[in-house]
A and B are shown apart, each in its own frame.
Chain A
Amino acid sequence: MIGRFGAILTGDRQADRVVPPTGYTANLTAFTAAAMAFLSVFALALSLATDRLATRWSEELAQTATVRISAPDGQLSRQAEAVMRILDTTPGIRSARMMTNEEQLKLLEPWFGPDLPLDTLPIPRLIEVVESGDGPDMAGLRLRLAAEAPGAVLDDHSRWRKPLISAASRLRALGVFSILLILGSTAAMITLAAQSALAANAQVITVVRLIGARDAYIVRAFVRRFTLRALFGALFGTVLAMLSIYFLPSAADEGAFLTGLGFQGWHWVLPVVVPVIAAVLAFWATRIAAFRVLRRMA
């Protein structure tokens, strides 16, 4: 298998000349491969990004919870203290921290702008809870909070985390599905191009058969062409897509929550397999199509 690919890449130029060059289908095949590679690199980036997102949401957020206390002015700090006391004595909680005014202001800033007069608004206090191990017994904790601080509401994020995670996994599945569709249509287009190239060269095939060429020889001449075209077309499309992704505006500061679409770390190596897959696909699509056409031409 590897040997066969090697022979294709090095194969002798003279053998290549037996089938006359067909500029038009050659360019179409290369263009198709380039476009498909471009699209699959984006689909790959999308899948990887949503994968990261889902992982983050399920792992990081699973370990946190929030307690929100809304109470009339006079009771707010008393209830907050009570909540902190309860949290400190509950097993399964690593730490609990009351958010400062500045932190709460920062959370609200995107919605209300920077100069929010926090003091004059009845804004609930927020306590950030970091869990340990399997986390606390949520139901028991709720009961204790209700008894001692009626204004406290425990939010373990599961309500909004679950749909987000399932949306992210759905998105990732869609990305993978798109890649499969792209592979399928690439194979289909290369099959069509190979078939038309063979039909266009019926006369050449007749002649080389008359002088003793086997099907395998004829197939090789076409396979080599289409594999190389697909390889270089896809290489071009991949590089183009990687450059576009690299120069995508970074979403790191404003929307760290959404994580950038770009590749991270070693994931930059993954798109390199796209041209290889394109070449393998072209190899088999052409080979199968060519043998079928030759069987029919006999």
Chain B
Amino acid sequence: MLELKKAAFDYAGKEILTDMSVTLAPGTFHFLTGPSGSGKTTFLKLCYQDLIPSSGTLHIFGKDVRAMDRDDVASVRQRIGVVHQDCQFLDHLTMSENILLPLQVTGHEVASKLRDMQELMVWTGLSDQMELLPPVLSGGERQRAALARAVIMSPELIIADEPTGNLDWDMAQRMLTLLIELNKMGKTILIATHDMNLIRMAKNQVAARVLRIRQRHLELAGAEL
């Protein structure tokens, strides 16, 4: 599904990540932790091809990211649902339109997914916010909506960047439950988070692995969690 070999990344010469070799097999559940500024978001951006490794190789769905043109990138992104750290909504569209946007822009039938969307809105507690514009929502509401948008296409891989950063514990648990359900349906999950409680709770329910970024290296965290 996702395979890095000796991959490194630097922003204009400033090396953030180096010598990363890791494989995310289909259907696995991974967390990604590390101090603030360690490069978690950068790593996720590599995964959904917002960035390209400066050295080493990265294969997504069996394809080398370096060999892809823009249409290939678009097709890959259609198979990945992403909760961005800064959410990335279109501020002139309502929340329901934003959540349906991935279907819209990829030419899928929207009407058949309206029920899915309503269920998602109920699950994420956003039923009352459906017709509001993104800027008026609270940070937590935006994160929940971003998760709804990430899963509407029923993607094979779901990547979430601090999806519970602005949520209270109850809501964080709800979101985690949703992700675990999706994982049980066969989706591959990758979540960047600082929240050790969240990781512990997940480990009680699924076989989650934890990747940690430490001094620019990506390593598999051991039993100490």
Stretch among A10-18, A223-231, A266-274 lining the B interface: A10-18
B177 sits at the interface (CB 8 A):
no
Contact A18 B101 (CB under 8 A): yes
Whether A207 touches B77, Cβ cut-off 8 Å, given contacts A18-B105, A213-B105, A215-B70, is no
B26 to chain A, nearest CB (A): 19
A20–B133 Cα gap in the complex (Å)? Answer: 13
Contact A212 B78 (CB under 8 A): yes
Does the CB pair B70–A210 fall under 8 Å?
Answer: no
A14-B104, A15-B104 given; A211·B77 CB < 8 A = yes
| Chain A: minimal CB distance from B83 (Å) | 11
The answer to whether A210 touches B105, judged by C-beta atoms less than 8 angstroms apart, is no
A204 touches B90 (CB 8 A): yes
The answer to whether the Cβ of A209 comes within 8 Å of any Cβ in the partner chain is yes
Q: Which residues of A contact B93 (CB under 8 A)?
A: 17-18
Contacts of A217 in B (CB 8 A): 105-107
**CB-defined contacts of B84 to chain A, threshold 8 Å:** 210
- For A215, list chain B residues within 8 Å (CB): 70-71, 74
Residues of B in contact (CB 8 Å), total: 25
Chain B's closest residue to A208 (CB) is: B105
CB of A214 within 8 A of CB of B71, answer yes
- Given the complex of chains A and B, what is the CA–CA distance between A294 and B74 in angstroms? 13
Compute the total of residue contacts between A and B using a CB distance below 8 Å.
59
Q: Is B63 located at the chain interface by the 8 A CB criterion?
A: no
Smallest Cβ distance from A202 to chain B, in angstroms?
A: 13
The reply to whether the CB of A298 lies closer than 8 angstroms to some CB of chain B is yes
CA distance A215 to B73 in the complex (A): 11
Closest to A17 in B: B93
B142 shortest CB reach to chain A, Å: 13
- From residue 274 to 298 of chain A, which have CB atoms closer than 8 A to chain B? 294, 298
Q: How many angstroms between the C-alpha atoms of A17 and B100 in the bound complex? A: 13
Interface residues of B in 64-78 (CB under 8 A from A): 70-71, 74-75, 77-78
- At the interface, is chain A mostly helix, strand, loop or mixed? helix
- Report whether A211 and B70 are in contact in the complex, using a CB–CB cutoff of 8 Å: no
Report if B3 contacts A (CB, 8 A): no
Partner of B105, one of A212, A294, A298: A212
Task: Flag if B107 contacts A20 (CB, 8 Å).
Answer: no
Contact partner, A211, options B97, B102, B110, Cβ 8 Å: B102
Q: Which of B70, B74, B89, B106 contacts A207 (CB 8 A)?
A: B89
Residues of A within 8 Å of B105, CB to CB, are 18, 208, 211-213, 217
Known: A17-B97, A208-B101, A298-B70. A213 touches B106 (CB 8 A): yes
Q: Nearest B residue to A21 by beta-carbon distance?
A: B92
Instruction: Report if B149 contacts A (CB, 8 A).
Output: yes
In the complex, which residues of chain B have a beta carbon less than 8 angstroms from the beta carbon of A17?
92-93, 97
With A14-B110, A212-B77 as contacts: A20 and B92 at CB distance below 8 Å: yes
Residues of A within 8 A of B89 (CB): 207
Q: Scan residues 145-186 of chain A and give those whose CB is less than 8 A from a CB of chain B.
A: none
B31 within 8 A of A: no
Closest partner residue, chain B, to A213 (CB atom): B105
Which residues of chain A have C-beta atoms less than 8 A from B48's C-beta? 210
Contact of B50 with A by CB under 8 A: yes
Chain B nearest CB, measured from A230 CB (Å): 23
- Residue picked from B84, B90, B106, most chain A C-beta under 10 Å: B90
CA distance A298 to B51 in the complex (A): 11
Interface residues of B in 107-152 (CB under 8 A from A): 107, 110, 149
Can you give 19 contacting A-B residue pairs, CB < 8 Å?
A14-B104, A14-B110, A15-B104, A18-B101, A18-B104, A207-B88, A207-B89, A210-B48, A210-B84, A211-B82, A211-B101, A212-B102, A212-B153, A213-B106, A214-B70, A214-B71, A214-B106, A217-B105, A294-B70
> Chain B residues in contact with chain A, CB under 8 A?
48, 50, 70-71, 74-75, 77-78, 82, 84, 88-90, 92-93, 97, 101-102, 104-107, 110, 149, 153
| Nearest 10 Cβ contacts at the A-B interface | A212-B78, A213-B105, A212-B77, A20-B92, A214-B74, A211-B102, A207-B88, A208-B105, A212-B74, A212-B106
Supply 13 further A-B pairs (C-beta < 8 A) apart from A18-B90, A20-B90, A214-B106.
Answer: A17-B97, A18-B101, A206-B88, A208-B105, A210-B82, A210-B88, A211-B102, A213-B106, A214-B70, A214-B71, A214-B74, A215-B74, A294-B70
